[in-house]
Amino acid sequence: MYLKKLSGLMFLLFVTSGFLSATEYTILVADKGTDAYKSAKAMASASETTFVVGLRPGKGMSKLSKKASKVLNDPEKCQVYKSIRNPRIKWRVKNEKTCTVNIKIAHGNYGGGIGISVGLWPTTTLRILGGYDDSFKVRAPFKTPTIIRGGSTIVKMATGGKYNYLKELYVSGLFMDIAGGNKYDAKTNSIKKGESGSLPIISIQARGYLTTDRLVYADNVFINAPNKAIAPLIRAMSKNTEVIIRNNFFINNVLAMLADTANYHVYPKWYKIVGNSFIMNWPYNPDPTTSNAAAVEIANKSRVRNYIIKDNLFAHNIGGALFDNGPNLHSNTTIHHNLFFNNGGLFGETEPGAAAMVVKFGGFKNKDVPWNIMSVEDLEDEYEDEDEEDQKVRGNSSVDPKIKIALVKPGYGNSGTISAKDTKMNDIRGILGMNKQGGKMKISNYAPYSYADANTLPWPANKAAKGFGVNPSRVEQFK
């Protein structure tokens, strides 16, 4: 069989030998000695395509990582491409196997993270699924969560080479908290960003980028990220590639999400941000002149062809809800039926629907006001269309969702107001590489540590907020 690169990463398959085959493998994961582990062993003994990984309670998941890599790299199970110089030239393979590997993790508390080195698997689907009950028949991640509290990245798809492929990557049902690797200032109750981690909670690129046709993050909890919870910078495998961020909680992260892609020949057709709850996320810096303020940053329209932002709940996000990286709203962005409440405290905004979007046009003479702050009403007025069905911004709300969460009153500093002291002593300080600014920004309560579990997740108490944010009924089961 030959695969020939056409435009971007569109492939044309010419079958000259072999046949198309599809196989599904399952790896069941649980702590040893638990009822879930007993169920997993019984299921594995009755199936040649089911495997079990028993973990030592409280230990890491290196055993799971090794088993997953072994299955994925077994040419008898999944098609592994041995060599590739460039995706735009022919690859010679004997046959084409479409393979799915499901990693199913039982509920419980786990340490460490999941690390898998990505190879050349353009016909393989990998699913990492948490929240299963003891029988592995029902998945309810918000009721029976798979909790992983670590000190750094929880899921790491390490891309070691220039070209790394998966047909689909689906990460769902994990409760991921990386506060253990963060440093906090006891005096100011603030995160020390420079001494905390620099990678997202899910990392899918290292030396190279992951190329895929479908990326899904669904039904997860992301909490306490010091530098973006997720940044799915993929390379699109085709012109129909889609990124789906659905039904997740983003709580107390410094920058919840960078909704961007890798700079490449082909860009995703769809970027769908649907039914998520963005609660109390923080700007990049505790400063109104910071370069990245809002919870979700939208990329330039030349990098993603279509955005759908729908049914989400944005509440108490300090730097605003959405940041559009262009001078105007992305021409193919739709913002429908979202709830925006109490966002934009960094800019002194107090109205319920304020700071639904912040836009940095540049060229501001006043360093105190570098952002254009747009409320829900501003957005709908600005992008009003005569045909309501074609209106890009419509059906949004600013009702108080009445979320139970511990709110803090942060203090901010404005770097634009600090100037150097013109003294001989200051010149000496400069020679010695010391601070010449002559002052310090007074900050407090900037992204302090926050704790949550299945019993304390911020569900709306207001019935009027029903339909916005996370909904347990959206969870796919994958039985």
Structure tokens at 462: 């207001």
Residue 109 is classified by DSSP as: E
Residues in Cβ contact with 3 at an 8 Å cutoff, skipping those fewer than 6 apart: 11, 12, 13, 90, 91, 93
pLDDT at 171 over 70: yes
Average pLDDT value for residue range 271-283: 97
* Angle (CA) 124 130 133, round 5°: 125
pTM of the model: 0.89
Burial class, 216, CB count within 10 angstroms (exposed 0-12 / middle 13-18 / buried 19+): buried
pLDDT at 396 over 90: yes
Average pLDDT value for residue range 198-224: 90
Average pLDDT value for residue range 428-443: 56
pLDDT at 205 over 90: no
**Which pLDDT score is estimated for 427?**
57
Is position 116 within any domain? Answer: yes
pLDDT band per the 50, 70, 90 thresholds, residue 264: confident
Among the ranges given (113-127, 203-217, 384-398), the one the predictor scored with the smallest mean pLDDT: 384-398
Is position 230 within any domain? Answer: yes
Q: What tens digit of pLDDT does each residue of 81-108 get? A: 765 555 543 444 445 678 999 999 999 9
Number of Cα atoms under 13 Å in the Cβ half of residue 221: 32
Is position 226 within any domain? Answer: yes
Classified as helix, coil or strand, 373 is strand
Q: What tens digit of pLDDT does each residue of 292-315 get? A: 999 999 887 677 888 999 999 999
Average pLDDT value for residue range 324-348: 83
Is position 144 within any domain? Answer: yes
Range of the domain at 174: 2-410+445-474
pLDDT band per the 50, 70, 90 thresholds, residue 387: low
| Distances 41 to 28, 31, 70, 71, 178 between C-alpha atoms, Å | 9, 12, 19, 18, 31
pLDDT band per the 50, 70, 90 thresholds, residue 58: confident
Is position 175 within any domain? Answer: yes
Is position 197 within any domain? Answer: yes
Is position 246 within any domain? Answer: yes
| The total number of structural domains that make up the chain | 1
Neighbour-count burial for 373-390, b at 16+ CB within 10 Å, e otherwise: bbbbebbbeebeeeeeee
Is position 421 within any domain? Answer: no
Average pLDDT value for residue range 370-394: 79
**Which pLDDT score is estimated for 22?**
73
Classified as helix, coil or strand, 425 is helix
Average pLDDT value for residue range 451-465: 94
